Amino acid sequence: MGAAESVSHTSSTDWAATAVSRQRLYFDSGATRDYRFRAAQLNKLKQSIVDHKDDIEKALKADIGRPPMEAYIEIVTAFEEIKHTLKHLKSWMAPKKVSTSLWAQPGSSRVESTPLGVNFIMGPYNYPFLLCVQPLIGAIAAGNTVIMKPSSLNPAVSALLAKMAKQCFKPEHVMVVEGSTEITDELLKQQFDHIFFTGSPRVGRIVMAAAAKHLTPVTLELGGKSPTIVHRDANLKLAAKRILAGKMMNAGQTCIAPDHVFVHRDIRAAFEREIIAAVKAGYGDDPIRSPDFGRMINQRHFDRVAALIDPTKVLVGGQTDRDSKFIAPTILGGVSVTDPVMQEEIFGPVLPLLEYADLDDLYRQVRTLPKHPLALYLFTSSEEVERDVLANIQFGGGCINNTVMHVANAHMPFGGVGESGMGAYHGKTSFDTFSHSRSILKTSNWLDIPLRYAPYKDRVEMMRKMVK
């Protein structure tokens, strides 16, 4: 089976086991461990992105209606991740010296980063290129082999990733498998050394249950209802622009998009005016014609999000077109935590505005919602408010006076907490995620301290004196 070969029509039931076995043999050969090999593979992937950038843009447009600017945000982010990894890879791979305890003297201690082995990466539909390639970069950098399964909802991107993999890698090193969820199910039955999944909490539970059968470690990048808070001392015009930019990218189908906004009651009316103006400035009076706005992935998700729009609470937007899977950038006002739109992650271009009286009222409302959001965004000029909010709300990561941009910093880990995920990646954290930190103690032979050997005689008294 070639790297780009689809297995959706195979009659064999052992193709998945064969693919994993082939990669395990290749990993056991030691071929992936050398720095020069890893760097060469990353450079091949980097050049492939350059060669196929127009194809990636077209595939993203075909699968999810991605505007060109948003497509290139996805492409450039992956490209920059490879550059960052190549720049630092040699130092990441180097053993790290650490102190040695009294008991092991004379000796030395070090921590080595060793590859995990055969990895399974499962990509989502919302950023189908970036969120497959980013974990792949970390896995290759750490010296692993990879079987990747892109989302079946993105046939154009999936086919392109398979083509790129076939051009860059041996299938026993990196293999992209196309096909339906049945293909995924077969792969989940296999014993991997690590599974990396990006998607919904519902599917995350399925992945974790399958991994538990083999005690396979997992990284789960999930989602949740990420709150945004606009305090009364915020720069409202800037807050409205930045919240809207984070929310409406990819038509709201972003795991770290602002899901809803808590606005301090003293500035609610003023903020509503600013965000309505921002919607009209960004997408015009007829947003279906905007070249800068995407579409829902399919009609099932269109129907789900469209049903969350309460016409009596629409401040701006609300237009829909099922045939083209279009939902206009929509702002809802006067929303409460008990409204239907607040009972699930929206994952679409609908932004509810809620009101809070003070920080205690804010925390009370936040705690009625699903716990542990993937992101949180706070707009305030007060460091005291910043400290208070960060101390009282748990979340994966976020921004002060901005939205979503923390995800673009390769120097920081990205991941969830609780139901929004486990584990993290990006930059060095990706390398660590796909590595095992192995401790090595080396003791000298020229001196042998008899302290730990029996008979102990009077050494117990000496030990007692050490604890005081």
Annotated catalytic residue, options 186, 221, 345, 355: 221
Tell me the sheet residues that pair with 197: 122, 220
* Residue 401 CA from chain centroid, whole number: 21
Alpha-carbon distances of 4 from 117, 150, 313, rounded to whole Å: 21, 12, 48
Choice among 74, 168, 178, 255 that is catalytic: 255
List all residues 6 or more positions away from 262 whose beta carbon is below 8 Å from its beta carbon.
227, 228, 229, 230, 354, 355, 356, 362, 365, 366
Residues ≥6 apart with Cβ < 8 Å to 278: 240, 241, 244
Backbone phi and psi for residue 216, each to the nearest 5 degrees, phi listed first: -85, 125
In terms of phi and psi (left: phi > 0; alpha: psi -120 to 50; beta: otherwise), the region of 146 is: beta
Q: Considering only CA atoms, which of 96, 116, 92 is closest in space to residue 35? A: 92
Residue from 225, 347, 246 nearest 298 by CA: 347
Is 255 a known active-site residue? yes
For the chain, give the secondary structure using H, E and C: CCCCCCCCCCCCCCHHHHHHHHHHHHHHCCCCCCHHHHHHHHHHHHHHHHHCHHHHHHHHHHHHCCCHHHHHHHHHHHHHHHHHHHHHHHHHHCCEEECCCHHHCCEEEEEEEEECCEEEEECCCCCCCHHHHHHHHHHHHCCCEEEEECCCCCHHHHHHHHHHHHHHCCCCCEEECCCCHHHHHHHHCCCCCEEEEECCHHHHHHHHHHHHCCCCCEEEECCCCCEEEECCCCCHHHHHHHHHHHHHHHHHCCCCCCCEEEEEHHHHHHHHHHHHHHHHHHHCCCHHHCCCCCCCCCHHHHHHHHCCCCHHHEEECCCEECCCCEECCEEECCCCCCCHHHCCCCCCCEEEEEEECCHHHHHHHHCCCCCCCCEEEEECCCHHHHHHHHHHCCCCEEEECCCCHHHHCCCCCECCCHHHEECCECCHHHHHHCEEEEEEEEECCCCCCHHHCCCCCCHHHHHHHHCC
| 221 is known as an active-site residue | yes
Catalytic positions, written as ranges: 221, 255
